[in-house]
Amino acid sequence: MTKAIELFNVSKVYRKYGGKQFATLKSAFLQRSILRELQPSETFPALTDVSFAVPRGSTYGVVGRNGSGKSTALKLVAGITKPTSGTVRVDGRISALIELGAGFHPEISGRENVYINGIMLGLSKRQIQDRFDDIVEFAELREFIDAPVKTYSSGMYMRLGFAVAINVDPDVLLVDEVLAVGDESFTHKCLDKFSEFRRRGKTILLVTHSLNLVERFCDEALWLDGGRAMSHGDPKRVIGDYLTSVEASEEQLLAATTARLVEEASATPAAESGARSDATPAAELFDPTSANMFHATEGRWGAREVEITEVQLLGPDSTPAHVFHTGQAMTVRVKVHARQPADDVVFGIGLFNADGVCCYGTNTFIEDIVLDGIERDAEATFAISSLDLVEGTYKMDVAVHKRDGYPYDYHRLLYTFRVKSRTHDVGIYRPQHTWTFSPNVARRPTRDA
Amino acid sequence: MFSNLANLLRYRGLISSLVARELKARYRGSVFGFLWSFINPLLLLLIYSFVFTTVIPNTTPGAQPFALFMFCGILPWNWFATSLSDAAGSLIAGGNLIRKVLFPAEVLPLVSVLANMVHFFLGLPILIGFLLYARHYPGPTDLIWFPVAVIVQLVFSSALALLLAALTVHFRDIRDILANVLTLWFFATPIIYPWFQESVREYKPYFNLNPFTHLAIAYQEILFFGQIGHWRWLLVLGVVSIVLFLACYWVFDRLRDSFAEAV
């Protein structure tokens, strides 16, 4: 199969001009440094040694987080910028949906702008005349086409830009995150147009954050990270790799946040913060009627006769984790150290969502588990077999206290974890459930099944 | 470079529609619209007449009515000066196109020059009307030499426009420097004083170094006196302008790849 787009070992280094951007001519002349001034003071590698090929007629998706080099790659393919090293080869007429309506002049009418924009994109006057009705129809701007473009809303502006660009009838279409331009119905129209392009054997290079779109539309995908190609090939696999990495970095971030929170909260000397315990007995904190429940800030208090030395969240494979999937198992391991033997000990756990709403709270006392004594180093494990929470960030309380609520060591909202879900359900709690239908309800087979 | 130059011909449709857009957009929303292209030079002519016939009268023989003589040089100078100052900022103003669309950047400074050329043409009827009224009839060869002068000026302005546009992307203060240089240049050119005035003749070699001197003299001879005596200089300037254009285009071409990142 012939290739429509090929990149061989392409690198792009952007120059950081630093303070020199407004260098004066005078200084440049005086120091005979015109050429030196034009040299970069620092460089930033936007793409490093990226190679990929898009076969003619296929749809290729590029994913990656912000600043990963996706748009740079697209600009290189479009020919707007040149690679620092390596070669870019594109076969066929390109239309780039990078900035819609980039060449519109606000003062003149939509009609005139369509002509000029079309000419900029490589059409002849005659060709635009032939397609004019299609363009206006597609943009849904029939009544406004003779009004100056400055009176258009941003949606109208984008729609017109999109309509012109897509009617250039390119062999290669470059799309950079432009589907967010219109309302629902316009987005559908755009997607239909893309499908039509695919059927007609055109090549599409799609840069997007919408992983669903990549999964649905693309034959192949590329994941860029920090300007390097991390994986490419089957979209499902690439997206899987990408999500795994996103989780890994979230994991790191959450681990760092947790470590910072624990350290900050522990910085207050135990004795001093102990005084605060009298004001808010732990039992009250677990009482859903208490106002404190909803206005909690993170902190740590208690005299630490029994001290929580470590709290670990463990994933299904019993390794520390901060990112979980809905329905996965989660284990909380609490390590404590009793300075003197204590005979009145209660372990408590509370889960809060990002709004500070208590999702669940319990302790050993409520559950009639009577702990009679604890000495030196000990450990308690709280295992959730299925974490039935919807997607979001959650915080956790961990406490050891007496049965009357006197806190030994209270960790308030210090432990953060994230729950991910491919389903966009809402609320807090996802009960385990199934849907069934009577036989006369037609059902499309699910793709993932 | 030469293939890029050849491409320039392919862009003539784009250039002409951008020039048309430029002209339409300039007067869109104003009551008089295109009339301003006539009114502006007319008002200018009235002001100069008042200043140079009443306030500080210039009575050089052979250059009367003096305001009309001056006006033959001022119209082309205005085309030249506004072209350059528009062109210097053209790449920055069109930054959106250069950064986001595959767009031949040299089109933008050339559009500045051409759009101002159209303004120059629109001012001509006013000038010619007054010339006829003052019984300054064009000579037989003028119809040939006037287009030559226009083409020489077009090439010369385009060369400088390309150079300034490319350099201004990197050195923004060129725009301010340019404004001052143009003012200086205006007074250093025999436009508001005749080249055959006694005090000017003394410095003739210096004036000959100023390329616009030859254009100004050519226009004055063609339009005001009705016969050209300066055509050798004009042709030399034409050849120099072509060389200059190629040199400036070469600089522009070399800097082209930096535009998308620097604007």
Strand order across the A42-55 sheet: A42-55, A3-16, A85-90
Residue A383 pLDDT level (bands cut at 50, 70, 90)? very high
Residue A282 pLDDT level (bands cut at 50, 70, 90)? very low
A27 lies within 8 A of chain B by CB:
no
pLDDT at B79: 92
- Go through A151-178 and write b for each residue having 16 or more CB atoms within 10 A of its CB, e for each that does not: ebeeebbbbbbbbbbbbbebbbbbbbbb
- What residues of chain A lie within 8 A of the CB of B97, using their CB? 102-103, 120
Query: Is the CB of residue A283 less than 8 Å from the CB of residue A399?
Result: no
Domain range annotation of chain A: 3-244, 272-420
Residue A22 pLDDT level (bands cut at 50, 70, 90)? very low
Summarize the confidence of residues A246-254 as an average pLDDT. 82
Q: Indicate the residue of A102, A108, A125 with minimum beta-carbon distance to B28.
A: A108
pLDDT of A291 above 80: no
The nearest alpha carbon in chain B to A78 belongs to B102
First to last CA, chain A: 31
pLDDT of A276 above 50: no
d(CA B152, CA B119): 17
The residue among A177 and B240 whose pLDDT is bigger is B240
The residue among B26 and A346 whose pLDDT is bigger is A346
Q: What SS3 class is residue A350?
A: strand
Question: CB within 8 A of B147, min separation 6: which ones?
Answer: none
pLDDT at A83: 87
pLDDT at A33: 52
- What residues of chain B lie within 8 A of the CB of A47, using their CB? none
Q: Indicate the residue of A80, A124, A125 with minimum beta-carbon distance to B102.
A: A80
pLDDT at A256: 85
Decide: residue B137, CB within 10 A, 0-12 exposed, 13-18 middle, 19+ buried: exposed
With CB atoms and an 8 Å threshold, state whether A119 touches B261. Answer: no
| Predicted ipTM beyond 0.90 | no
Q: What SS3 class is residue A353?
A: strand
pLDDT at A281: 45
Shortest CA gap A433–chain B (Å): 49
* Of residues B159, B166, B176, the one with CA closest to residue B83: B159
Q: Indicate the residue of A21, A94, A102 with minimum beta-carbon distance to B96.
A: A102
pLDDT of A339 above 60: yes
- What residues of chain A lie within 8 A of the CB of B170, using their CB? 23, 37-38
Q: Indicate the residue of B25, B101, B171 with minimum beta-carbon distance to A120.
A: B101
Residue A181 pLDDT level (bands cut at 50, 70, 90)? low
Write out residues in chain B with pLDDT < 50, as ranges.
Answer: none
With CB atoms and an 8 Å threshold, state whether B14 touches A120. Answer: yes
**H-helix or E-strand spanning residue A22:** none
With CB atoms and an 8 Å threshold, state whether A22 touches B173. Answer: yes
From its phi and psi, is residue A416 left (phi > 0), alpha (psi between -120 and 50) or beta? Answer: beta
Query: Is the CB of residue A88 less than 8 Å from the CB of residue A42?
Result: no
- In single-letter form, the type of residue at position A232 comes to H
| Mutation for testing the A interface, residue in B4, B23, B28 having most A CBs under 10 Å | B28
Summarize the confidence of residues A205-218 as an average pLDDT. 84
The CATH architecture annotation of domain A272-420 reads Distorted Sandwich (2.70)
Question: How confident is the prediction for chain A on average, in pLDDT?
Answer: 81
With CB atoms and an 8 Å threshold, state whether A38 touches B170. Answer: yes
Shortest CA gap A28–chain B (Å): 9
Half-sphere exposure of A378 (CA within 13 A, CB side): 17
Q: What are A413-442's pLDDT values in tens digits?
A: 888 888 888 788 888 888 888 998 998 888
B12 lies within 8 A of chain A by CB:
no
The residue with tokens 């629109």 is B122
- What residues of chain A lie within 8 A of the CB of B181, using their CB? none
Shortest CA gap A256–chain B (Å): 36
**H-helix or E-strand spanning residue A332:** strand A330-342
* Of residues B98, B137, B143, B31, the one with CA closest to residue B261: B98
Question: CB within 8 A of B143, min separation 6: which ones?
Answer: none
pLDDT of A346 above 60: yes
The nearest alpha carbon in chain B to A120 belongs to B14
CB contacts under 8 A, B 28-47 vs A, are: 28-29
pLDDT at A40: 53
Half-sphere exposure of A132 (CA within 13 A, CB side): 17
Query: Is the CB of residue B146 less than 8 Å from the CB of residue B64?
Result: no
With CB atoms and an 8 Å threshold, state whether B17 touches A121. Answer: no
Shortest CA gap B195–chain A (Å): 33
pLDDT of A294 above 60: no
pLDDT of A270 above 70: no
Q: What are A227-246's pLDDT values in tens digits?
A: 888 888 888 888 888 888 88
Q: Please report the beta strands in A76-120, taking only residues with DSSP state E, as ranges in sequence order.
A: 85-90, 94-97
| Mutation for testing the A interface, residue in B11, B167, B169, B171 having most A CBs under 10 Å | B171
Q: Does domain A3-244 have CATH number 3.40.50.300?
A: yes
Q: Please report the beta strands in chain B, taking only residues with DSSP state E, as ranges in sequence order.
A: none
pLDDT of A39 above 70: no
